[in-house]
Chain A
Amino acid sequence: MRDVAIVGCGMTRFGRREEDLLGLLTEASLAALDDAGRGQGPVDALLVANMGSGILNHQTGVASALTDRLSLLPAPAESIENGPASGASAIKNAFLAIASGLYDVILVAGGEKMRAVTGWEATDFVASMSHPQGEYPYGITLPALAGMFARLHMAKYGVTSEHLAMVALKNHEHGALNPFAHIQQAVSMEGILHRPEAVVNNPPIAEPLRMFDCCPVSDGAAAVLLCAAEKAAEFPRPPIRIAGFGQATDTHAVHQRQDPLDLKAVRLASQAAFKMAGLKPGDIDVAELHDAFTILEIVESEQAGFFPVGRGHRALEKGQTRLNGKLPINPSGGLKARGHPVGATGVAQIVELVWQLRGQAGERQVDGAVNGFSCNFGGFGNNVLAFVLSGE
């Protein structure tokens, strides 16, 4: 099995975009190809990560269409759909194809055009991941699942609304330094929590979660060019190795989990990634976690092995997960500020890590970052992927 490296990356700005899905995917793909010095191709294959093209955009066969747009014909191509973990899944599949020895260079592009529809349609589309008999009919949305989970975790471990707000504050602060972020505006603790005005500034969505605990609905795309490590010298940029990955599934209906408080798939995926990489959580210098809801950043930081279970919020309190902290989490702004075009997120997390490990992250740079970690959370934790990247 061969080593696989990332030799090019790029993304569009996330947010409210005019372009359609293929337009966004094209922009990100060209950015990644140009970054790799391979603007005209060729590539051995293309993988597209996307969840909603059929439902939101009335467009199917997106990978084939993108291959044509980029004039990369006759390269093989497919779309990968794994909910919000589509991005990581597509990268994983590209990794497997290259590691097997059958392909050398693969372009992975993740994208989503969510703002083609109203907010309710977007919410309903995301809710389509829920269990069709056991959850969806009741009016369940992803925020509702997150709200119920948050209540349980907060009650057991003493996590407060202020801790959740700290995640939002930190990620907005980071996002303000990221020219690709959907929201580039810092927020204030007083404004979202303490002042009387907070009741309107930061209204409840799914109690105890409020507006600033939930990521925005975004359009956008991100892309990476993967290549067999042994061929990486052909490319101008310093290669960033995918040292390991892991993936695990869990029950569809959240209430059928062994322990509804236990995000087991995050733990299993993370452990597998570290095992494959031959590294430990302590070796990680920078992490991109899946904060679709602020509570998830705290819990993933525990289940990934960075902090003991029930202590993630303490590390947050102490500022350990800020840009200048011991373990910066979501230097990009995370899903909360960078945004969450569902199919793009998993790829965007990797793009940020590549920039960090190359020393190219500008004002967001984590000094001396060598090893990075990402967690891409599908459904409500029923399909999770983790990656360990290394600049060595």
Chain B
Amino acid sequence: MANLEHILRPPERDLPPYPAKFIFLATGEKMVVRQAAREEVPALLEAIDPLRTVVRDFYDIVAARTFAELLGWQRYRVRDEYCLVGLIDGQLVGLVNGRTLSPKVGISYHTLALRRGVRVGAHLFASKMEYHIEYLKQQYVYITAESPIGFRRWMLEYDLIQRPDIPHELGGVDVWTLTPELYHASKDRLVVGERPVPEDLMRKAETIQVPTEDQLVKQVTGKAKEGNS
């Protein structure tokens, strides 16, 4: 088995790291956005797994596909993949992933928000674009969307260019591209956060804590506590 690994495992490029930042959210909470390490994938899978049966808002397909992508990354079967996570007090509130196709071209995979109502998805998607354009120094990012929300948020917000001639890896659907020019035109409006992350905040963000299944379903589907006066 071991001697086939060199055939099955794609060669890897050393990707420049994503420098962590923190974002002050509407609630006053601070979300740290940092790159996840391969070793952290099991924790991420644990968080995503319960969402594979939540049909609402396309959580099931995004969770299922992201699960596969992250597992593929962990097991060295996807080339040059990365994952950025959003953490509030160490608790996972969202993640984004993608990979580089070549030094100049990146592919955006998914955006999964585990906490609603504080624009986690918007912030993390922006961080992903920041990574591709400003740190990976790419010329094109291929983006697609599974949900109408994603589509409006990204295709319109960033003024992406439709490329019907390029199929996206995720099912061959239409690619919409982001370029450095488009990115910088919208950056002030869409990409925020502060660097560096203060030491105490960074320490809390060292270990990814996974919400319980109950917490997760409640956060994602909005079922809150019942009560009475």
A residues near B, CB below 8 A?
13, 15-16, 118-120, 179-180, 183-188, 190-192, 195-202, 212, 355, 360-362
Contact = CB atoms under 8 A, between A and B. Distances in A.
Contacts of A179: 224-229
Interface in B185-229: 188-190, 192-194, 221-222, 224-229
A192 B119 CA distance: 11
Contacts of A118: 148
B119 A200 contact: yes
A218 to B, nearest CB: 10
A187 B222 contact: no
B26 A202 contact: yes
Size class of the B contact interface (CB-based, 8 Å): 20 to 34
A198 B189 CA distance: 10
Nearest 4 A/B pairs, CB to CB: A179-B227, A188-B28, A16-B222, A201-B26
Interface string B4-42: 000000000000000000011111100000000000000
Contact of B117 (A180, A185, A200): A185
B193 to A, nearest CB: 7
**Max chain A CB contacts within 10 Å: which of B56, B123, B225, B227?**
B227
Interface in B92-123: 117-119, 122-123
A199 B157 CA distance: 13
B126 interface: yes
Contacts of B56: 16
B201 to A, nearest CB: 15
B226 A196 contact: no
Contacts of A120: 148
A361 B229 contact: yes
Contacts of A360: 229
A199 B221 contact: no
Contact of A201 (B118, B189, B224, B227): B118
A197 B23 contact: yes
Given A15-B222, A362-B229, A201 B117 contact: no
Contacts of A119: 149
B126 A190 contact: no
A355 B27 CA distance: 28
B22 to A, nearest CB: 10
Contacts of A187: 26-28
Contacts of B192: 196-197, 199-200
Interface in B53-79: 56
Contact of A183 (B28, B117, B193, B227): B117
B193 A197 contact: yes
Contact of B26 (A184, A192, A355, A362): A192
A338 to B, nearest CB: 12
